[in-house]
């Protein structure tokens, strides 16, 4: 196959950008030219990944805050529907559209690959007559429940670029790829074309440096506590770190707590003797030694833990995390603890360590992921519409 230009598109969060990277890297390894269209907030991440960057405009902060204000007091499902409809499918997509169309017009990609809630690229690709595909960044329940909320806003965007409204037809007909295992789908009914599943690559598993304080072996189990990279940016979420440390105080276990970069460590207060605090540690280094994972249920962390066969306690904070927590609990690979206090969180951790059923179920999912086709096969499918 000849070398092609392929444009990836994402919104500004690393949790939305990272799922695109395995595809972009595999395509680059095959000699294709890759460019990423994203807001300036992702410039450093894109540069470190070695790809060219088309900068998309973001919405005005006032417009975002007006929508956020209206979601205060709503349930997670109600808020997510508004975020997808009015933010991702509305003001974010409208702000990104001029630069997106310019990138397609001047760079002339053969294929556009987007993440679930980046909608300007789908509309721009349709307007230019290009093939497009979707990388799902949420589990099937969230994709089916919330993504259709964007259809009205997308149809308005289609009209602005000279396309007729299609009531979601473009979305439902595009190829979809997912790192989420089939087991997490449960009984949810998928719309559109069949989702192509992708398993983790062997290279994603690493080895631990035993020089690290938290890695020094003794007879106690290692518990890894992480709440991702977003909690540090929200004042009302930072208390979760103190809650977690109180929950594990005097627990017969070694605990590694990662806070994310730029976290004010003074907010933690006194750190228990059995807890080591780090700003960031590669999951591939931690997971081989971990007995239990305590996390927020962000998709990257959750999928990494499941791929490593780790039972987990999930304390969801926002977005699709409550749904992830529900699905992990449903398959018996972990325990969901919404709105935790130290006692409820400690009790869940103790159950996880004492009941081998959780670990057995997590290992079952790890085996499922191990047997799922890898990124090389997925990229073959991704390229199929433009193969010559």
Read off the pLDDT of residues 331-344 as tens digits, 9 standing for 90 and up: 999 999 998 999 99
Residues 43 and 122 in one domain: yes
Based on the domain organization, do 31 and 153 belong to the same domain? yes
Same domain, 231 and 313: yes
- Note the pLDDT tens digit of each residue in 286-301: 999 899 999 999 999 9
pLDDT score recorded for residue 265: 81
- In this structure, the answer to whether residues 175 and 55 fall within a common structural domain is yes
| 74-85 mean pLDDT | 90
Residues 274 and 150 in one domain: no
Domain shared by 180 and 208, yes or no: no
Cα dihedral 361/324/46/195 (nearest 10):
80
One domain, residues 187 and 213: no
* Of residues 131, 126, 132, 129, the one with CA closest to residue 160: 126
Q: Are residues 114 and 138 in the same domain?
A: yes
Angle at 77 between CA 75 and CA 79, to 5 degrees: 70
304 to 107, 258, 288, 349, 372: CA distances (angstroms): 35, 15, 11, 19, 14
| Three-class SS state of 223 | strand
- Per-residue pLDDT at 191: 83
User: For the residues 375-384, what does the mean pLDDT come to?
Assistant: 96
pLDDT at 237 over 70: no
The pLDDT value recorded for residue 53 is 98
- % of the chain at pLDDT higher than 70: 93
Structural domain count, the chain: 2
pLDDT in tens, 350-366: 999 999 999 999 999 99
168-224 confidence digits (pLDDT tens): 999 999 999 999 999 999 888 888 888 999 998 755 445 555 556 666 667 789 999
Provide the percentage of residues in the chain whose pLDDT is more than 90.
73
In the prediction, which pLDDT does 309 show?
A: 96
pLDDT over threshold 70, residue 233: no
- 112 strand-pairing partners: 7, 132
Closest CA to 4 of 102, 97, 122, 107: 107
pLDDT band (50, 70, 90) for residue 9: very high
The DSSP annotation for 131-170 comes to: EEEEEE-S-HHHHHHHGGGGHHHHHHHHHHTTPPP-TTHH
Neighbours of 93 (CB within 10 A): 27
Whether 381 and 358 share a structural domain: no
Do 162 and 226 lie in one domain? The reply is: no
User: The domain containing residue 17 runs over which residues?
Assistant: 5-199+372-386
Arithmetic mean of pLDDT over the chain: 91
> How many Å from the N-terminal Cα to the C-terminal Cα in the chain?
7
The confidence band for 232, taking pLDDT boundaries of 50, 70 and 90, is low
Same domain, 43 and 23: yes
pLDDT at 269 over 90: no
pLDDT tens digits, 114-163 = 999 999 999 999 999 999 999 999 999 989 988 889 999 999 999 999 99
Distances in whole angstroms, Cα of residue 29 to Cα of each of 6, 14, 33, 379: 13, 22, 10, 11
CATH number of the domain encompassing residue 207: 3.40.50.2000
Cα-based distances in Å from 57 to 47, 94, 121, 240: 18, 9, 13, 33
pTM score of the predicted model: 0.90
Average pLDDT estimate for 252-270: 86
Whether 227 and 331 map to the same domain: the answer is yes
């Amino acid at each position: 196959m000849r070398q092609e230009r392929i444009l990836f598109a994402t919104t500004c969060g690393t949790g939305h950008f990272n799922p695109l990277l395995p595809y972009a890297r595999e395509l680059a390894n095959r000699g294709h030219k890759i460019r990423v269209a994203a807001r300036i907030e992702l410039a450093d991440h894109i540069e470190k990944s070695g790809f060219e960057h088309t900068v998309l405009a973001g919405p005005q902060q006032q417009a975002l805050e007006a929508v956020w204000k209206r979601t205060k007091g709503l349930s997670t499902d109600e808020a997510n529907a508004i975020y997808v409809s009015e933010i991702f499918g509305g003001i974010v997509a409208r702000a990104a559209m001029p630069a997106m169309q310019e990138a397609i017009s001047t760079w002339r990609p053969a294929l556009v690959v987007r993440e679930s809630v980046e909608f300007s690229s789908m509309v721009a690709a349709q307007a230019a007559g290009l093939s497009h595909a979707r990388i799902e960044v949420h589990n099937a329940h969230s994709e089916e429940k919330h993504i259709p909320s964007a259809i009205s806003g997308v149809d308005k965007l289609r009209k602005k670029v000279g396309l007729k409204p299609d009531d979601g037809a473009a979305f439902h007909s595009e190829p979809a790829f997912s790192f989420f295992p089939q087991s997490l789908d449960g009984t949810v009914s998928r719309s559109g074309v069949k989702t192509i599943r992708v398993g983790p690559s062997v290279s994603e598993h690493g080895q631990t440096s035993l020089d690290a304080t938290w890695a020094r072996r003794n007879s106690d189990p290692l518990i890894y506590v992480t709440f991702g990279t977003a909690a540090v940016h929200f004042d009302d979420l930072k208390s979760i770190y103190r809650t977690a440390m109180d929950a594990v105080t005097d627990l017969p276990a070694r605990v590694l707590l990662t806070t994310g970069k730029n976290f004010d460590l003074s907010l933690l207060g006194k750190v228990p003797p059995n807890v080591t605090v780090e700003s960031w540690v590669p999951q591939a280094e931690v997971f081989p030694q971990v007995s239990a994972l305590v996390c927020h249920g962000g998709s990257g962390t959750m999928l990494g833990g499941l791929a490593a066969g780790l039972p987990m306690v999930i304390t969801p904070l926002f977005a699709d995390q409550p749904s992830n927590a529900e699905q992990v609990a449903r398959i018996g690979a972990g325990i969901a603890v919404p709105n935790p206090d130290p006692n409820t969180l400690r009790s869940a951790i103790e159950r996880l360590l004492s009941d081998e059923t959780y670990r057995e179920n997590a290992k079952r999912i790890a085996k499922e992921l191990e047997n799922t086709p890898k990124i090389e096969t997925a990229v073959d499918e991704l390229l199929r519409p433009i193969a010559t």
